[in-house]
Amino acid sequence: MYSLALESPLMTTRYTKDHEWVRLDGDIATIGISNYAAEQLGDVVYAELPAVGKSFKQGDDMAVVESAKTASDVYAPISGEIVETNAEIANENWQIINDAPQGEGWFVKLRASNKAEFDALMSESAYADYVKGL
């Protein structure tokens, strides 16, 4: 039997073991930290985003997000070039990362250079299982 809710590739969110999420729309990927990561982090007090135009390989240090007591590195979940950063975060609206980490609290958009990397990431349910095991 097929699942009734056929996921459109445009809507699929995939996840990394380091708790980044990625949504791919054509070749533009929107990236942020997962609900789990935001919850573990606690109140965000600072985030540092990369500059537009900078390129990353999968796994590179890409951004930093901090709470009062921790600093977490955010790694590029897939390779590509940054085309946009979230203006809300640039304007120091840190709360948006806690309020909607997988929505309006996104970090960057990048142009994916290798979509196969996206396909190899964890699906929603695989990530949910992964988090349960932590």
Partner 1 sequence: MITETTSGNRGLLQHEPLIFETGHATGTGVDLPEPKGAQSKLGGLTRKAALDLPGLSEPETMRHFVRLSQKNYAIDLGLFPLGSCTMKHNPRLNERVARFDGFADLHPLQPTSTIQGALELMDELARWLMELTGMPAVALSPKAGAHGEFCGMLAIKAALEARGEADKRKRVLVPHSAHGTNPATAVAAGFVVDEIEGDEDGRVDLADVTAKLGPDVAAIMITNPNTCGLFERDVKAIADAVHEAGAYFYCDGANYNAIVGKVRPGDLGVDAMHINLHKTFSTPHGGGGPGAGPTVLSAALAPYAPVPHIVKHSWTAGVLAGEARVAALPVAGETPAVQEYSLREHTEGTQAFGRMCAFHGQMGMFTRALTYMLSHGADGLRQVAEDAVLNANYLLARLKPHFNAPFGGPKNEHWPCMHEVLLDDSSIKPKGVETIDMAKALLDDGYHPFTTYFPLVVHGAMLIEPTETEPKRELDRFADVMIGLAERVNAGDVEFFKQAPKLAPTRRLDDTRAARQPKLRWRRGANDAPAAKHAAE
Partner 2 sequence: MRYLPLTDVDRQQMLALIGAKSVDDLFIDVPKGALLKDLVDLPRAQGEIEVHRHMQRLAEKNTPAGRTAFFLGAGAYRHHVPASVDHLIQRSEFLTTYTPYQPEIAQGTLQALYEFQSQVAMLLDMEVANASMYDGSTACAEAAMMAARVTKRKKIVFSGGVHPHYVETSRTACEALGLEIVALPAAIDDEAAVIKHLGADVAAIIVQSPNVFGTVTDLTKIGEAVHGAGALMVATFTECVSFGLIEPAGAMGADIVCGEGQSIGNALNFGGPYVGLFAVKEKYIRQMPGRVAGETVDADGKRGFVLTLSTREQHIRREKATSNICTNSGLCQLAWTIHMTLLGEKGLRQLATLNHEKAIALADALGKVPGVEVLTRRFFNEIAIKLSKPAQEVVDRLARQGVIAGVAMSRLNPNAGMDDVLITSATEMNTEDDIAAYAKGLKEVLA
Pick one of 46, 60, 84, 124: the residue that binds partner 2 (CB under 8 A).
46
Rule CB under 8 A: is residue 69 a binding residue for partner 2? yes
Segment contacting partner 2 (CB under 8 A): 19-27, 50-58, 67-75, 96-104?
67-75
Pick one of 27, 66, 88, 104: the residue that binds partner 2 (CB under 8 A).
66
Rounded to an integer, what distance in angstroms lies between the CA atom of residue 20 and that of residue 35? 9
With tokens 């890409």, the residue in question is 62
DSSP letters of 54-82?
Answer: -EE-TT-EEEEEEESS-EEEEE-SS-EEE
Segment contacting partner 2 (CB under 8 A): 4-12, 34-42, 62-70, 93-101?
62-70
Nearer to partner 1, 12 or 67 (CB): 67
Q: Which residues of the shown chain bind partner 1 in the complex (CB under 8 A)? A: 42-43, 45-46, 66-69, 94
Rounded to an integer, what distance in angstroms lies between the CA atom of residue 38 and that of residue 106? 11
- Strand order through the sheet with 61-67: 44-48, 61-67, 71-75
Element (H, E) at 94: none
Rounded to an integer, what distance in angstroms lies between the CA atom of residue 111 and that of residue 132? 31
Nearer to partner 1, 82 or 97 (CB): 97
Judged by beta carbon distances under 5 to 8 A according to partner kind, the member of partner 1, partner 2, none in contact with residue 26 is none
Judged by beta carbon distances under 5 to 8 A according to partner kind, the member of partner 1, partner 2, none in contact with residue 35 is none
Q: Which residues bind partner 2 (CB under 8 A)?
A: 45-46, 66-71, 73
